[in-house]
Amino acid sequence: MEFSFKETLLYVENLSVAYDGNVIIKDISLTEKDVVRSGVNATGQVIAIVGRSGRGKSTFFRALTGLVPLHTGKILIKDFESNDPAAAKEAKEGDIGLVNQKYTLFRHKTVLQTLKYALRKSTLSETDKDKKIKEYIHKWGLENCADKYPNELSGGQRQRTAIIEQLFSSDKFIVLDEPFSGLDVGNIEEVKQSFDLLCTLSEYNTVIFSTHDIELALRLAQSVYVIGYPTINGDKKDYGTIIAKYDLREMGLAWKDYCEKHDKLYDEIVHQMMNS
Amino acid sequence: MAVWIALVFLIWFIGTSGQKHLFPSPSQVLEGFQGLYAEGLVVHIFNSLCLCFLSIFLAMVIALLFAYSWPIPLLKPLSEFVTKFRFLPFTGLSFYITLIIHDARNMQIWIMVIFLTTFLTTSLIGVIKDIPEEEFDHAKTLKCSRWEVLWQVVILGRIDYVIDAIRQNLAITWMMLVTVESIVVASGGLGFLIKNSDKFMNHGRIIALQIIILLIGLFLDWSINFLRKAIFRYSTI
Protein backbone atom coordinates (compact mmCIF):
# COMPACT_ATOMS: atom_id res chain seq x y z
CA MET A 1 0.00 0.00 0.00
CA GLU A 2 1.34 3.44 -0.96
CA PHE A 3 2.23 5.72 1.86
CA SER A 4 4.33 8.79 2.56
CA PHE A 5 5.94 10.32 5.62
CA LYS A 6 4.88 13.88 6.48
CA GLU A 7 5.87 16.12 9.41
CA THR A 8 7.56 14.86 12.56
CA LEU A 9 5.15 14.10 15.40
CA LEU A 10 7.51 12.79 18.05
CA TYR A 11 11.23 13.44 18.38
CA VAL A 12 13.34 11.98 21.17
CA GLU A 13 17.03 12.79 21.38
CA ASN A 14 19.68 11.23 23.63
CA LEU A 15 17.21 10.56 26.41
CA SER A 16 18.53 9.19 29.66
CA VAL A 17 16.97 8.72 33.09
CA ALA A 18 18.80 8.02 36.33
CA TYR A 19 17.49 7.31 39.84
CA ASP A 20 19.93 8.28 42.63
CA GLY A 21 22.82 8.29 40.16
CA ASN A 22 21.87 4.85 38.86
CA VAL A 23 21.34 5.08 35.10
CA ILE A 24 18.22 3.15 34.01
CA ILE A 25 17.95 4.18 30.36
CA LYS A 26 20.46 6.03 28.21
CA ASP A 27 21.00 7.36 24.69
CA ILE A 28 17.46 6.77 23.52
CA SER A 29 16.70 8.56 20.27
CA LEU A 30 13.76 8.09 17.96
CA THR A 31 11.73 9.98 15.39
CA GLU A 32 8.15 9.21 14.43
CA LYS A 33 6.45 11.01 11.55
CA ASP A 34 2.89 11.42 10.41
CA VAL A 35 2.09 8.77 7.84
CA VAL A 36 -0.44 9.29 5.08
CA ARG A 37 -1.79 6.42 3.04
CA SER A 38 -3.47 6.88 -0.31
CA GLY A 39 -7.18 6.17 -0.14
CA VAL A 40 -7.26 6.16 3.68
CA ASN A 41 -8.71 9.13 5.56
CA ALA A 42 -6.69 8.74 8.75
CA THR A 43 -3.93 6.22 9.37
CA GLY A 44 -2.59 7.10 12.79
CA GLN A 45 0.67 5.77 14.15
CA VAL A 46 0.98 2.63 16.25
CA ILE A 47 4.41 2.02 17.74
CA ALA A 48 5.38 -1.03 19.78
CA ILE A 49 8.16 -1.19 22.34
CA VAL A 50 9.36 -4.68 23.18
CA GLY A 51 12.12 -5.92 25.42
CA ARG A 52 12.85 -8.21 28.32
CA SER A 53 11.69 -7.33 31.82
CA GLY A 54 13.73 -4.77 33.69
CA ARG A 55 15.26 -3.20 30.57
CA GLY A 56 13.62 0.19 31.18
CA LYS A 57 10.44 0.14 29.08
CA SER A 58 8.30 1.54 31.90
CA THR A 59 10.97 4.12 32.79
CA PHE A 60 11.04 5.20 29.15
CA PHE A 61 7.25 5.63 29.25
CA ARG A 62 7.42 7.58 32.50
CA ALA A 63 10.01 9.86 30.91
CA LEU A 64 7.90 10.33 27.77
CA THR A 65 4.89 11.31 29.88
CA GLY A 66 6.88 13.67 32.08
CA LEU A 67 6.46 11.64 35.27
CA VAL A 68 10.21 11.42 35.86
CA PRO A 69 12.76 14.17 35.21
CA LEU A 70 15.16 13.63 32.33
CA HIS A 71 18.82 13.21 33.21
CA THR A 72 19.83 14.22 29.67
CA GLY A 73 18.15 14.70 26.31
CA LYS A 74 14.88 16.14 25.12
CA ILE A 75 11.44 15.11 23.95
CA LEU A 76 9.68 17.20 21.33
CA ILE A 77 6.15 16.77 20.01
CA LYS A 78 4.28 18.49 17.22
CA ASP A 79 2.69 21.76 18.37
CA PHE A 80 -0.89 21.45 17.15
CA GLU A 81 -1.73 24.98 18.29
CA SER A 82 0.77 26.54 15.89
CA ASN A 83 -0.09 27.27 12.26
CA ASP A 84 3.38 26.23 11.21
CA PRO A 85 3.17 22.49 10.38
CA ALA A 86 6.79 22.02 11.42
CA ALA A 87 6.34 23.69 14.83
CA ALA A 88 7.36 21.58 17.79
CA LYS A 89 7.22 21.99 21.56
CA GLU A 90 8.95 20.32 24.44
CA ALA A 91 6.73 17.60 25.95
CA LYS A 92 5.69 18.41 29.51
CA GLU A 93 3.80 16.42 32.14
CA GLY A 94 0.34 15.70 30.71
CA ASP A 95 1.18 16.37 27.05
CA ILE A 96 1.51 12.65 26.37
CA GLY A 97 -1.21 10.55 27.99
CA LEU A 98 -0.42 7.38 29.91
CA VAL A 99 -2.68 4.39 30.34
CA ASN A 100 -1.22 1.88 32.76
CA GLN A 101 -1.83 -1.86 33.05
CA LYS A 102 -4.57 -1.38 35.64
CA TYR A 103 -6.42 1.24 33.60
CA THR A 104 -6.42 3.60 36.57
CA LEU A 105 -9.30 6.08 36.75
CA PHE A 106 -10.58 8.43 39.45
CA ARG A 107 -12.55 6.06 41.69
CA HIS A 108 -15.01 8.79 42.70
CA LYS A 109 -15.99 9.92 39.20
CA THR A 110 -18.47 8.37 36.78
CA VAL A 111 -17.49 7.89 33.14
CA LEU A 112 -19.24 11.16 32.22
CA GLN A 113 -17.61 13.08 35.08
CA THR A 114 -14.23 11.57 34.16
CA LEU A 115 -14.45 12.72 30.55
CA LYS A 116 -15.68 16.18 31.57
CA TYR A 117 -12.76 16.51 33.95
CA ALA A 118 -10.31 15.43 31.23
CA LEU A 119 -11.61 18.25 29.02
CA ARG A 120 -11.53 20.91 31.75
CA LYS A 121 -8.49 22.66 30.27
CA SER A 122 -9.71 22.46 26.69
CA THR A 123 -10.47 25.74 24.92
CA LEU A 124 -13.74 24.31 23.56
CA SER A 125 -17.03 25.87 24.67
CA GLU A 126 -19.15 23.95 27.19
CA THR A 127 -21.61 23.01 24.42
CA ASP A 128 -18.81 21.70 22.21
CA LYS A 129 -17.31 19.77 25.12
CA ASP A 130 -20.67 18.08 25.79
CA LYS A 131 -21.03 17.33 22.09
CA LYS A 132 -17.53 15.84 21.93
CA ILE A 133 -18.16 13.69 25.02
CA LYS A 134 -21.47 12.42 23.62
CA GLU A 135 -19.84 11.63 20.29
CA TYR A 136 -17.01 9.64 21.90
CA ILE A 137 -19.31 7.84 24.31
CA HIS A 138 -21.39 6.74 21.31
CA LYS A 139 -18.42 5.77 19.09
CA TRP A 140 -16.71 3.81 21.86
CA GLY A 141 -19.88 2.01 22.93
CA LEU A 142 -20.10 3.48 26.42
CA GLU A 143 -23.72 4.74 26.31
CA ASN A 144 -24.91 2.23 28.89
CA CYS A 145 -22.24 3.06 31.41
CA ALA A 146 -21.96 6.86 31.25
CA ASP A 147 -23.23 7.16 34.82
CA LYS A 148 -21.26 4.23 36.21
CA TYR A 149 -18.23 4.42 38.51
CA PRO A 150 -14.99 2.57 37.63
CA ASN A 151 -15.79 -0.28 40.05
CA GLU A 152 -19.05 -0.87 38.16
CA LEU A 153 -17.37 -1.13 34.74
CA SER A 154 -16.18 -4.23 32.90
CA GLY A 155 -12.48 -4.48 32.03
CA GLY A 156 -13.16 -3.41 28.43
CA GLN A 157 -15.31 -0.42 29.42
CA ARG A 158 -12.71 0.68 31.92
CA GLN A 159 -9.94 0.44 29.36
CA ARG A 160 -11.92 2.42 26.76
CA THR A 161 -12.74 5.11 29.32
CA ALA A 162 -9.06 5.36 30.32
CA ILE A 163 -8.00 5.72 26.67
CA ILE A 164 -10.58 8.44 25.85
CA GLU A 165 -9.78 10.28 29.07
CA GLN A 166 -6.08 10.42 28.21
CA LEU A 167 -6.82 11.30 24.61
CA PHE A 168 -9.02 14.23 25.71
CA SER A 169 -6.42 15.54 28.11
CA SER A 170 -3.23 14.97 26.13
CA ASP A 171 -4.57 15.39 22.61
CA LYS A 172 -3.15 12.94 20.06
CA PHE A 173 -0.40 11.12 22.02
CA ILE A 174 -1.06 8.05 24.14
CA VAL A 175 1.34 5.67 25.79
CA LEU A 176 -0.01 2.32 27.00
CA ASP A 177 2.16 0.34 29.38
CA GLU A 178 1.55 -3.35 28.71
CA PRO A 179 -2.13 -2.96 27.82
CA PHE A 180 -2.50 -6.68 27.01
CA SER A 181 -1.00 -8.00 30.20
CA GLY A 182 -3.34 -10.36 32.03
CA LEU A 183 -6.21 -9.93 29.53
CA ASP A 184 -8.25 -12.77 28.08
CA VAL A 185 -8.76 -13.23 24.31
CA GLY A 186 -11.95 -11.15 24.33
CA ASN A 187 -10.34 -8.23 26.14
CA ILE A 188 -7.32 -8.34 23.81
CA GLU A 189 -9.71 -8.03 20.85
CA GLU A 190 -11.33 -5.03 22.52
CA VAL A 191 -7.96 -3.30 22.97
CA LYS A 192 -7.12 -4.04 19.32
CA GLN A 193 -10.42 -2.47 18.27
CA SER A 194 -9.63 0.55 20.43
CA PHE A 195 -6.30 0.95 18.61
CA ASP A 196 -8.10 0.81 15.24
CA LEU A 197 -10.65 3.34 16.41
CA LEU A 198 -7.92 5.67 17.70
CA CYS A 199 -6.14 5.52 14.36
CA THR A 200 -9.25 6.28 12.35
CA LEU A 201 -10.18 9.27 14.55
CA SER A 202 -7.22 11.41 13.48
CA GLU A 203 -4.17 10.86 11.32
CA TYR A 204 -2.08 12.48 14.06
CA ASN A 205 -3.15 10.08 16.78
CA THR A 206 -0.04 8.29 17.95
CA VAL A 207 -0.26 5.18 20.10
CA ILE A 208 2.87 3.83 21.75
CA PHE A 209 2.53 0.57 23.63
CA SER A 210 4.77 -1.95 25.30
CA THR A 211 4.20 -5.67 25.24
CA HIS A 212 5.89 -9.01 25.82
CA ASP A 213 3.80 -10.51 23.02
CA ILE A 214 5.96 -10.00 19.91
CA GLU A 215 3.38 -11.51 17.55
CA LEU A 216 0.78 -9.03 18.80
CA ALA A 217 3.28 -6.19 18.35
CA LEU A 218 3.88 -7.25 14.73
CA ARG A 219 0.15 -7.54 14.05
CA LEU A 220 -0.70 -4.11 15.44
CA ALA A 221 2.28 -1.80 15.06
CA GLN A 222 3.86 -0.04 12.15
CA SER A 223 7.16 0.47 14.00
CA VAL A 224 8.71 -1.88 16.52
CA TYR A 225 11.51 -0.79 18.82
CA VAL A 226 13.51 -3.28 20.87
CA ILE A 227 14.81 -1.99 24.21
CA GLY A 228 17.61 -3.93 25.85
CA TYR A 229 21.08 -3.75 27.35
CA PRO A 230 23.55 -2.73 24.62
CA THR A 231 26.90 -4.38 24.03
CA ILE A 232 29.60 -1.83 23.29
CA ASN A 233 33.08 -3.06 22.27
CA GLY A 234 32.24 -6.48 23.65
CA ASP A 235 31.17 -5.06 27.00
CA LYS A 236 27.50 -5.56 27.97
CA LYS A 237 26.14 -2.43 29.65
CA ASP A 238 23.56 -2.42 32.43
CA TYR A 239 21.28 0.34 31.17
CA GLY A 240 18.45 0.10 28.68
CA THR A 241 18.53 1.64 25.22
CA ILE A 242 17.03 1.06 21.79
CA ILE A 243 19.03 -1.78 20.28
CA ALA A 244 16.94 -2.26 17.16
CA LYS A 245 14.17 -0.59 15.19
CA TYR A 246 11.97 -2.22 12.58
CA ASP A 247 9.84 -0.03 10.36
CA LEU A 248 7.18 -2.41 9.12
CA ARG A 249 5.90 0.17 6.62
CA GLU A 250 9.24 0.33 4.85
CA MET A 251 9.58 -3.46 5.08
CA GLY A 252 6.18 -3.86 3.40
CA LEU A 253 4.74 -5.65 6.45
CA ALA A 254 2.45 -2.97 7.92
CA TRP A 255 -1.36 -3.04 7.52
CA LYS A 256 -1.17 -6.65 6.29
CA ASP A 257 -2.33 -9.99 7.60
CA TYR A 258 0.25 -11.93 9.57
CA CYS A 259 2.38 -14.02 7.20
CA GLU A 260 5.67 -15.90 6.91
CA LYS A 261 7.67 -12.68 6.64
CA HIS A 262 6.27 -11.60 9.99
CA ASP A 263 7.38 -14.95 11.41
CA LYS A 264 10.95 -14.36 10.24
CA LEU A 265 10.93 -10.91 11.80
CA TYR A 266 9.53 -12.47 14.98
CA ASP A 267 12.56 -14.76 15.18
CA GLU A 268 14.93 -11.88 14.60
CA ILE A 269 13.34 -9.78 17.36
CA VAL A 270 13.51 -12.73 19.77
CA HIS A 271 17.19 -13.12 18.90
CA GLN A 272 17.79 -9.40 19.56
CA MET A 273 16.00 -9.60 22.89
CA MET A 274 17.86 -12.68 24.05
CA ASN A 275 21.20 -10.99 23.36
CA SER A 276 20.29 -7.91 25.34
CA MET B 1 -25.54 -15.94 64.43
CA ALA B 2 -29.14 -16.13 65.70
CA VAL B 3 -28.46 -19.64 66.98
CA TRP B 4 -25.47 -18.42 68.98
CA ILE B 5 -27.44 -15.51 70.49
CA ALA B 6 -30.26 -17.90 71.41
CA LEU B 7 -27.70 -20.24 72.99
CA VAL B 8 -26.22 -17.39 75.08
CA PHE B 9 -29.70 -16.45 76.32
CA LEU B 10 -30.48 -20.08 77.12
CA ILE B 11 -27.28 -20.46 79.16
CA TRP B 12 -28.06 -17.16 80.88
CA PHE B 13 -31.56 -18.28 81.85
CA ILE B 14 -30.45 -21.72 83.04
CA GLY B 15 -27.25 -20.48 84.74
CA THR B 16 -29.10 -17.88 86.82
CA SER B 17 -32.25 -19.89 87.62
CA GLY B 18 -30.98 -21.16 91.01
CA GLN B 19 -31.02 -19.41 94.41
CA LYS B 20 -27.32 -18.48 94.30
CA HIS B 21 -25.75 -17.05 91.17
CA LEU B 22 -22.83 -14.73 90.44
CA PHE B 23 -24.26 -13.19 87.30
CA PRO B 24 -27.56 -11.23 87.57
CA SER B 25 -30.64 -13.04 86.29
CA PRO B 26 -32.70 -11.75 83.30
CA SER B 27 -35.40 -10.50 85.69
CA GLN B 28 -32.80 -8.49 87.69
CA VAL B 29 -31.48 -6.97 84.45
CA LEU B 30 -35.06 -6.14 83.41
CA GLU B 31 -35.59 -4.41 86.76
CA GLY B 32 -32.33 -2.57 86.11
CA PHE B 33 -33.70 -1.34 82.77
CA GLN B 34 -36.91 -0.13 84.40
CA GLY B 35 -35.01 1.67 87.16
CA LEU B 36 -32.68 3.33 84.65
CA TYR B 37 -35.60 4.43 82.48
CA ALA B 38 -37.32 5.97 85.50
CA GLU B 39 -34.10 7.91 86.29
CA GLY B 40 -34.02 9.48 82.82
CA LEU B 41 -32.02 6.96 80.78
CA VAL B 42 -33.02 8.66 77.50
CA VAL B 43 -31.57 12.00 78.63
CA HIS B 44 -28.35 10.30 79.71
CA ILE B 45 -28.05 8.53 76.34
CA PHE B 46 -28.66 11.86 74.59
CA ASN B 47 -25.90 13.52 76.66
CA SER B 48 -23.46 10.72 75.89
CA LEU B 49 -24.26 10.84 72.16
CA CYS B 50 -23.82 14.64 72.11
CA LEU B 51 -20.42 14.30 73.75
CA CYS B 52 -19.50 11.50 71.35
CA PHE B 53 -20.49 13.37 68.17
CA LEU B 54 -19.03 16.71 69.23
CA SER B 55 -15.69 15.26 70.26
CA ILE B 56 -15.39 13.02 67.19
CA PHE B 57 -16.23 15.98 64.93
CA LEU B 58 -13.55 18.21 66.51
CA ALA B 59 -11.02 15.36 66.59
CA MET B 60 -11.75 14.60 62.93
CA VAL B 61 -11.12 18.19 61.83
CA ILE B 62 -7.79 18.32 63.71
CA ALA B 63 -6.77 14.80 62.59
CA LEU B 64 -7.54 15.65 58.94
CA LEU B 65 -5.29 18.71 59.16
CA PHE B 66 -2.45 16.58 60.53
CA ALA B 67 -3.07 13.78 58.01
CA TYR B 68 -3.33 16.04 54.94
CA SER B 69 -0.16 17.85 55.94
CA TRP B 70 1.66 14.51 56.34
CA PRO B 71 2.74 14.36 52.64
CA ILE B 72 4.41 17.78 53.04
CA PRO B 73 8.04 17.01 54.04
CA LEU B 74 8.31 19.94 56.49
CA LEU B 75 5.15 18.95 58.40
CA LYS B 76 5.56 15.17 58.20
CA PRO B 77 7.49 14.84 61.51
CA LEU B 78 4.80 16.81 63.35
CA SER B 79 2.01 14.53 62.07
CA GLU B 80 4.00 11.41 62.94
CA PHE B 81 4.78 12.85 66.39
CA VAL B 82 1.04 13.23 67.06
CA THR B 83 0.43 9.54 66.30
CA LYS B 84 2.93 8.50 68.98
CA PHE B 85 0.82 10.17 71.67
CA ARG B 86 -1.75 7.38 71.47
CA PHE B 87 0.53 5.39 73.78
CA LEU B 88 0.30 8.00 76.53
CA PRO B 89 -1.68 6.98 79.62
CA PHE B 90 -5.12 8.50 79.75
CA THR B 91 -5.39 9.35 83.43
CA GLY B 92 -2.04 11.08 83.91
CA LEU B 93 -2.51 13.57 81.11
CA SER B 94 -6.10 14.34 82.10
CA PHE B 95 -4.69 15.86 85.31
CA TYR B 96 -2.92 18.60 83.31
CA ILE B 97 -6.02 19.19 81.19
CA THR B 98 -8.02 19.82 84.40
CA LEU B 99 -5.48 22.50 85.31
CA ILE B 100 -6.10 24.38 82.06
CA ILE B 101 -9.83 23.79 81.54
CA HIS B 102 -12.08 24.29 84.56
CA ASP B 103 -15.56 23.68 83.12
CA ALA B 104 -16.41 19.97 83.51
CA ARG B 105 -18.23 19.59 80.18
CA ASN B 106 -15.42 21.27 78.19
CA MET B 107 -12.93 19.17 80.09
CA GLN B 108 -14.75 15.98 78.99
CA ILE B 109 -14.82 17.19 75.38
CA TRP B 110 -11.13 18.12 75.21
CA ILE B 111 -9.90 14.97 76.93
CA MET B 112 -11.81 13.03 74.28
CA VAL B 113 -10.63 15.26 71.41
CA ILE B 114 -6.95 15.06 72.38
CA PHE B 115 -6.91 11.29 72.66
CA LEU B 116 -9.15 10.65 69.67
CA THR B 117 -7.01 12.90 67.47
CA THR B 118 -4.00 10.66 68.02
CA PHE B 119 -5.92 7.52 66.96
CA LEU B 120 -7.67 9.16 64.02
CA THR B 121 -4.46 10.75 62.73
CA THR B 122 -2.82 7.30 62.79
CA SER B 123 -5.70 5.77 60.80
CA LEU B 124 -5.86 8.61 58.28
CA ILE B 125 -2.11 8.61 57.64
CA GLY B 126 -2.47 4.87 57.02
CA VAL B 127 -5.18 5.60 54.43
CA ILE B 128 -2.95 8.13 52.62
CA LYS B 129 0.07 5.81 52.77
CA ASP B 130 -1.95 3.09 51.05
CA ILE B 131 -2.86 5.19 48.00
CA PRO B 132 -1.11 3.49 45.06
CA GLU B 133 1.51 5.50 43.19
CA GLU B 134 -0.39 5.01 39.92
CA GLU B 135 -3.32 7.08 41.23
CA PHE B 136 -1.00 10.06 41.70
CA ASP B 137 0.57 9.42 38.27
CA HIS B 138 -2.88 9.19 36.71
CA ALA B 139 -3.82 12.62 38.08
CA LYS B 140 -0.51 14.10 36.91
CA THR B 141 -1.02 12.80 33.36
CA LEU B 142 -4.33 14.70 33.36
CA LYS B 143 -2.38 17.93 33.86
CA CYS B 144 -3.42 18.25 37.51
CA SER B 145 -1.49 20.79 39.56
CA ARG B 146 -0.11 19.52 42.89
CA TRP B 147 -3.12 21.02 44.70
CA GLU B 148 -5.50 19.31 42.26
CA VAL B 149 -3.69 16.01 42.89
CA LEU B 150 -4.20 16.51 46.64
CA TRP B 151 -7.86 17.43 46.15
CA GLN B 152 -8.79 14.74 43.63
CA VAL B 153 -6.70 11.80 44.81
CA VAL B 154 -6.24 12.31 48.56
CA ILE B 155 -9.26 14.33 49.67
CA LEU B 156 -12.14 13.51 47.27
CA GLY B 157 -10.72 10.15 46.26
CA ARG B 158 -10.49 8.91 49.84
CA ILE B 159 -13.47 10.58 51.55
CA ASP B 160 -15.20 7.22 52.02
CA TYR B 161 -12.07 5.88 53.70
CA VAL B 162 -12.19 8.85 56.11
CA ILE B 163 -15.74 7.88 57.06
CA ASP B 164 -14.65 4.29 57.52
CA ALA B 165 -11.78 5.48 59.75
CA ILE B 166 -14.38 7.24 61.93
CA ARG B 167 -16.41 4.02 62.08
CA GLN B 168 -13.39 1.95 63.04
CA ASN B 169 -12.38 4.44 65.74
CA LEU B 170 -15.91 4.71 67.04
CA ALA B 171 -15.37 1.70 69.26
CA ILE B 172 -12.44 3.50 70.93
CA THR B 173 -14.53 6.70 71.18
CA TRP B 174 -17.43 4.88 72.77
CA MET B 175 -15.18 3.08 75.26
CA MET B 176 -13.30 6.29 76.14
CA LEU B 177 -16.54 8.22 76.48
CA VAL B 178 -17.86 6.00 79.26
CA THR B 179 -14.53 6.26 81.10
CA VAL B 180 -14.34 10.05 80.69
CA GLU B 181 -17.93 10.47 81.90
CA SER B 182 -17.19 8.42 84.98
CA ILE B 183 -13.95 10.33 85.78
CA VAL B 184 -15.23 13.84 85.11
CA VAL B 185 -18.85 14.16 86.14
CA ALA B 186 -20.55 16.95 84.21
CA SER B 187 -24.03 16.50 82.75
CA GLY B 188 -24.65 12.82 83.41
CA GLY B 189 -24.30 10.30 80.62
CA LEU B 190 -23.96 6.53 80.46
CA GLY B 191 -20.55 6.58 82.17
CA PHE B 192 -22.04 8.49 85.12
CA LEU B 193 -24.85 5.89 85.41
CA ILE B 194 -22.36 2.99 85.37
CA LYS B 195 -20.24 4.64 88.07
CA ASN B 196 -23.29 5.12 90.31
CA SER B 197 -24.55 1.57 89.75
CA ASP B 198 -21.09 0.20 90.45
CA LYS B 199 -20.91 2.16 93.72
CA PHE B 200 -24.09 0.48 95.01
CA MET B 201 -23.17 -2.96 93.62
CA ASN B 202 -26.37 -2.99 91.55
CA HIS B 203 -25.41 -5.73 89.11
CA GLY B 204 -28.78 -5.82 87.32
CA ARG B 205 -28.38 -2.16 86.41
CA ILE B 206 -24.71 -2.60 85.43
CA ILE B 207 -25.51 -5.39 82.97
CA ALA B 208 -28.52 -3.44 81.67
CA LEU B 209 -26.21 -0.47 81.01
CA GLN B 210 -23.60 -2.68 79.36
CA ILE B 211 -26.28 -4.03 77.01
CA ILE B 212 -27.46 -0.48 76.20
CA ILE B 213 -23.89 0.72 75.52
CA LEU B 214 -23.21 -2.33 73.32
CA LEU B 215 -26.42 -1.94 71.31
CA ILE B 216 -25.91 1.81 70.75
CA GLY B 217 -22.31 1.17 69.69
CA LEU B 218 -23.39 -1.53 67.24
CA PHE B 219 -26.15 0.70 65.89
CA LEU B 220 -23.73 3.60 65.33
CA ASP B 221 -21.30 1.26 63.57
CA TRP B 222 -24.04 -0.08 61.31
CA SER B 223 -25.44 3.40 60.59
CA ILE B 224 -22.10 4.87 59.54
CA ASN B 225 -21.39 1.87 57.33
CA PHE B 226 -24.85 2.15 55.79
CA LEU B 227 -24.45 5.89 55.16
CA ARG B 228 -21.01 5.40 53.58
CA LYS B 229 -22.37 2.82 51.15
CA ALA B 230 -25.51 4.86 50.41
CA ILE B 231 -23.71 8.15 49.77
CA PHE B 232 -20.63 6.77 48.00
CA ARG B 233 -21.79 4.17 45.51
CA TYR B 234 -18.22 3.57 44.39
CA SER B 235 -17.04 2.67 47.89
CA THR B 236 -16.07 -1.00 48.05
CA ILE B 237 -14.03 -1.01 51.27
- Residues A218-256: pLDDT tens digits? 999 999 999 999 998 888 899 999 999 999 999 998 888
Q: Name the most confidently modeled range: A109-123, A187-201, B32-46, B163-177.
A: A109-123
pLDDT digits (tens, 9 = 90+) for A51-94: 999 999 999 999 999 999 999 999 999 998 888 888 999 999 99
Nearest CA distance, A237 vs chain B (angstrom): 29
> What domains can you pick out in chain A, each with its CATH number?
3-274 (3.40.50.300)
Please judge whether B143 and A121 are an interchain contact, meaning their C-beta atoms are less than 8 angstroms apart: yes
Residue B52 has pLDDT above 70, yes or no: yes
DSSP H stretches of helix in chain B? 2-15, 26-38, 41-69, 76-84, 90-100, 104-129, 133-141, 146-149, 159-183, 190-199, 203-231
pLDDT digits (tens, 9 = 90+) for A83-138: 888 899 999 999 999 999 889 999 999 999 999 999 999 889 999 999 999 999 99
Mean pLDDT to the nearest integer, B10-19: 82
In whole angstroms, what separates CA B135 from the centre of its chain?
30
Burial class (CB in 10 A: 0-12, 13-18, 19+), A32: buried
Average pLDDT for chain B = 88
Q: Is A179 on the interface with B (CB under 8 A)?
A: no
Q: Is A108 on the interface with B (CB under 8 A)?
A: yes
Residue B12 has pLDDT above 90, yes or no: no
Cβ-Cβ contacts under 8 Å, B142 against chain A: 94, 117-118, 165-166, 169
User: Using an 8 Å Cβ cutoff, are A254 and A265 in contact?
Assistant: no
Cβ-Cβ contacts under 8 Å, A177 against chain B: none
Please state the pTM of the whole predicted model: 0.84
Q: What is the pLDDT of residue A50?
A: 95
3-state SS, residue B82: helix
Please judge whether B141 and A67 are an interchain contact, meaning their C-beta atoms are less than 8 angstroms apart: yes
Of chain B, the percentage scoring pLDDT greater than 90 comes to 45
DSSP H stretches of helix in A140-258? 155-170, 185-201, 214-220
Q: What is the pLDDT of residue B186?
A: 67
How far is the C-alpha of A220 from the C-alpha of B103, rounded, in Å? 75
Q: What is the pLDDT of residue A16?
A: 96
How far is the C-alpha of A143 from the C-alpha of A140, rounded, in Å? 8
User: Which of A28, A144, A135, A152 lies closest to B233, judged by CA?
Assistant: A152
How far is the C-alpha of A119 from the C-alpha of A131, rounded, in Å? 12
pLDDT digits (tens, 9 = 90+) for A161-219: 999 999 899 878 999 998 888 777 877 888 888 888 888 888 899 999 999 999 999 99
Q: Give A1's pLDDT tier (boundaries 50, 70, 90).
A: low
pLDDT digits (tens, 9 = 90+) for B181-202: 877 776 678 888 888 777 777 7
Q: Is B130 on the interface with A (CB under 8 A)?
A: no
How far is the C-alpha of A112 from the C-alpha of B88, rounded, in Å? 49
Please provide the DSSP assignment of A39-66 as one string. T-S---EEEEEE--TTSSHHHHHHHHTT
Looking at chain A, which residue has its C-alpha nearest residue B134?
A104
Question: How many residue pairs bridge chain A and chain B with CB atoms within 8 Å of each other?
Answer: 59
How far is the C-alpha of B64 from the C-alpha of B68, rounded, in Å? 6
Mean pLDDT to the nearest integer, B76-98: 81
Q: Name the CATH superfamily housing domain B30-231.
A: MetI-like (1.10.3720.10)
Looking at chain A, which residue has its C-alpha nearest residue B156?
A108
